[in-house]
């Protein structure tokens, strides 16, 4: 972690804290090098603290508030000594374990464990059932590639334990109750930031590390290139954001690798050269007239506006009697070299590969949790399973959002071209022509996706900016 974003913030004067799940069994030096304060755990719903069993969501909330109070005390002491309002900023990471399932166990195992009162308040006895996902059927499971449509697949085994119809209602309601508890905890932390009078100078980012299958395609968990698994929430509140952007959404592709340069950029720290992501703030700091000027050289204007905002924030700190010390977002965006023309990615490379080899030949879990690659665009998704002779799939995302129809294997490789003698009426001839045209068009898209996939895979695995 010597040059990661949290270590960089630590080295650049931020008061840093990490509370919640840490995806390692042991805490090493990397934690001490990045965080002044930390209380982490590997993965559980309850923890004993001061002789009492406490829910970890509550502990994450309370530990975060304690951290903020410590930072505030340090800041006030420093202000008293130096009479300088612009003191050490903070960076806080809250890594909730919820809504993660507790690993282990089989049927009857308490995978999701909210507070009992939350569960009963939200879903009292007799409450309506939550509808099953559209693709949570045996038919959809059997339509998966043969190496997935088997009962030794870990995703299928976890589905049996959690999401078979008779278990689905309890587990999904428990999970939603846990999500509500996280929402309440986040709200409490944000309110505390407001109480410290730094809310208007704080960047807030809410996201998750992965999506999840909750019975879709007859599977559970997060290791698959399906939409439910690869899509994650991302909410950003940034005091630099123009008013007309507040409450808006964007269709632009943002990736988890974008978070580090975005956070560092907000702190005016240049990202490390190995970081492949992009600063997300470029998507919302552009003004409407700039968005219309596609390809215009406007990087100087963007940097100028970001710098102007930073100066305004500094001046505000000098003039106001209330505190104006910021969190990790106090200053201008990073000085990362910007392209001559402002563009954003229009496609991206997905990879689930725990091996070191670029072709996933050493991925450890074939037929259990399979490696997979994908190229995703606005309308198409090309998938390849490298451990199964390069098994390929092709989905039309905009026309088939639930990924029920694998065009590559159902249309191109099992195609039945209508014969001209099958019918004598014009309608049939027209339908036949359309079918042939659809096959030809899909074949062209398939070949284009393969070429683009190879290029983007090489770029991404080669460490280039993506």
- Is residue 423 included in any domain, yes or no? yes
- Is residue 323 included in any domain, yes or no? yes
- Output the pLDDT for position 324: 26
- Output the pLDDT for position 148: 92
Q: Are residues 357 and 327 in the same domain?
A: no
- Output the pLDDT for position 298: 38
Q: Are residues 432 and 321 in the same domain?
A: no
- Output the pLDDT for position 24: 67
- The CATH number given to whatever domain includes residue 195 is 3.40.720.10
Q: Are residues 339 and 376 in the same domain?
A: no
CA angle, residues 286, 266, 196, in degrees to nearest 5: 115
Q: Are residues 316 and 364 in the same domain?
A: no
Phi first, then psi, for residue 217 (nearest 5°) are 60, 20
Q: Are residues 216 and 330 in the same domain?
A: no
Torsion from C-alpha of 186, 187, 192, 193, nearest 10 degrees: 70
Q: Are residues 20 and 109 in the same domain?
A: yes
Structural domain of residue 146, as residue ranges? 5-244
**CA pair distance 152, 141, nearest whole angstrom:** 13
- Output the pLDDT for position 107: 66
Which of 345, 361, 384 finishes a domain?
345
- Output the pLDDT for position 335: 31
Which of 345, 371, 390 finishes a domain?
345
pLDDT in tens, 368-407: 899 999 999 999 999 999 999 999 999 999 999 999 999 9
Cβ atoms within 10 A of the Cβ of 322, count? Answer: 11
- Output the pLDDT for position 33: 84
- Output the pLDDT for position 429: 46
Q: Are residues 448 and 333 in the same domain?
A: no
Q: Are residues 310 and 224 in the same domain?
A: no
- Output the pLDDT for position 125: 87
Q: Could you list the pLDDT tens digit for every one of the 466 residues in the chain?
A: 578 899 999 999 999 999 999 876 566 777 778 999 999 887 788 988 989 999 999 999 999 999 999 999 998 888 777 766 667 899 999 999 999 887 766 666 678 889 999 999 999 988 999 999 999 999 999 999 999 998 888 999 999 888 888 889 999 999 999 999 999 999 999 999 999 999 999 999 999 999 999 999 999 999 999 999 999 999 999 999 999 899 999 999 999 999 999 999 999 999 999 999 999 999 998 754 444 443 433 344 444 545 544 444 444 443 332 222 233 332 222 333 333 345 899 999 999 999 888 999 899 887 789 999 999 999 999 999 999 999 999 999 999 999 999 999 988 877 433 333 333 344 444 444 555 558 888 999 999 999 999 999 999 999 888 8
- Is residue 312 included in any domain, yes or no? yes
- Is residue 224 included in any domain, yes or no? yes
What does pTM read for this prediction? 0.82
- Output the pLDDT for position 311: 45
Q: Are residues 128 and 267 in the same domain?
A: no
Q: Are residues 203 and 299 in the same domain?
A: no
Which of 244, 265, 280 finishes a domain?
244
Cβ atoms within 10 A of the Cβ of 122, count? Answer: 15
CA torsion sign for 302, 303, 305, 306 is positive
- Output the pLDDT for position 22: 82
Contact 217, 93 (CB under 8 A): no
Q: Are residues 67 and 127 in the same domain?
A: yes
Contact 340, 211 (CB under 8 A): no
Q: How many domains would you assign to the chain?
A: 3
- Is residue 466 included in any domain, yes or no? no
Q: Are residues 130 and 33 in the same domain?
A: yes
Q: In three state form, how does the secondary structure of the chain look?
A: CCCCHHHHHHHCCCEEEEEEECCCCCCCHHHHCCCCEEEEECCCCEEEECCEEEEHHHHHHHHHHHHHHHHHHHHHHHHHHHCCCCCCCEEEEEECCCCCCCCCCCCCCCCCCCCHHHHHHHCCCCCCCCCCCCCCCHHHHHCCCCCCCCCCCHHHHHHHHHCCHHHHHHHHHHHHHHHHHHHHHHHHHHHHHHHCCCHHHCCEEEECCCCCEECHHHCEECCCCCHHHHCCCEEEECCCCCHHHCCCCCCCCCCHHHHHHHHHHHCCCCCCCCCCCCCHHHHCCCCHHHHCCCCCCCHHHHHHHHHHHHHHHHHHHHHCCCCCCCCCCCCCCCCCCCCCCCCCCCEEEEEECCCCCCCCCCCCCCCCCCCEEEEEECCEEEEEECCCCCEEEEEECCCCCCCCCCHHHHHHCCCCCCCCCCCCCHHHHHHHHHHHHHHHHHHHHHHHHHHHHHHHHHHHHCCCCC
- Is residue 164 included in any domain, yes or no? yes
């Amino acid at each position: 972690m010597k040059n990661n974003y949290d270590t960089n913030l630590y080295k650049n004067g931020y008061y840093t804290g990490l509370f919640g799940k840490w995806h390692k069994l042991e805490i090493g030096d990397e934690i001490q090098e990045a965080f002044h304060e930390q209380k982490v755990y590997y993965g559980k719903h309850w923890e004993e603290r001061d002789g009492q069993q406490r829910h970890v969501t509550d502990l994450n909330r309370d530990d975060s508030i304690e951290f903020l109070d410590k930072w505030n005390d340090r800041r006030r002491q420093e202000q008293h000594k130096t009479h300088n309002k612009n003191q050490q900023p903070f960076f806080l990471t809250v890594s909730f374990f919820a809504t993660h399932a507790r690993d282990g166990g089989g049927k009857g195992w308490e995978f999701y464990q909210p507070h009992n009162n939350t569960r009963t308040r939200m879903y009292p006895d007799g409450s309506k059932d939550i509808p099953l996902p559209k693709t949570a059927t045996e038919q959809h499971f059997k339509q998966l590639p043969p190496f997935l449509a088997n009962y030794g697949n870990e995703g299928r085994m976890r589905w049996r334990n959690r999401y078979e119809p008779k278990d689905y209602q309890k587990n999904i309601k428990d999970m939603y109750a846990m999500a509500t508890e996280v929402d309440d905890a986040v709200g409490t932390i944000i309110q505390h930031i407001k109480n410290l009078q730094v809310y208007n100078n704080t960047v807030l980012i809410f996201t998750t590390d992965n999506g999840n299958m909750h019975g879709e395609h007859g599977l559970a968990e997060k290791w698959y290139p399906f939409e439910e698994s690869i899509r994650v929430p991302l909410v950003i509140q940034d005091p630099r954001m123009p008013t007309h952007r507040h409450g808006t959404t964007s269709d632009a592709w943002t990736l988890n690798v974008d978070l580090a340069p975005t956070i560092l950029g907000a702190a005016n720290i240049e990202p490390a050269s190995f970081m492949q992501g992009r600063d997300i703030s470029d998507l919302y700091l552009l003004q409407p007239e700039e968005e219309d000027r596609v390809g215009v050289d406007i990087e100087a204007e963007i940097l100028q506006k970001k710098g102007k905002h930073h100066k305004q924030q500094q001046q505000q700190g000098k003039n106001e009697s209330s505190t104006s010390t910021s969190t990790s977002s106090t200053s201008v965006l990073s000085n990362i070299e910007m392209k001559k023309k402002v563009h954003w990615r229009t496609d991206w490379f997905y990879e689930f590969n725990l091996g070191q080899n670029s072709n996933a030949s050493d991925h450890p879990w074939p037929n259990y949790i399979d490696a997979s690659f994908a190229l995703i665009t606005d309308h198409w998704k090309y998938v390849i399973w490298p451990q199964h002779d390069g098994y390929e799939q092709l989905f039309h995302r905009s026309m088939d959002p639930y990924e029920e129809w694998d065009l590559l294997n159902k249309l191109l490789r099992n195609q039945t071209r209508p014969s001209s003698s099958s019918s004598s009426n014009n309608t049939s001839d027209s339908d036949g022509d359309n079918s042939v045209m659809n096959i030809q068009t899909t074949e062209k898209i398939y070949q284009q996706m393969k070429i683009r996939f190879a290029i983007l895979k090489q770029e991404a695995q080669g460490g280039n900016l993506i």
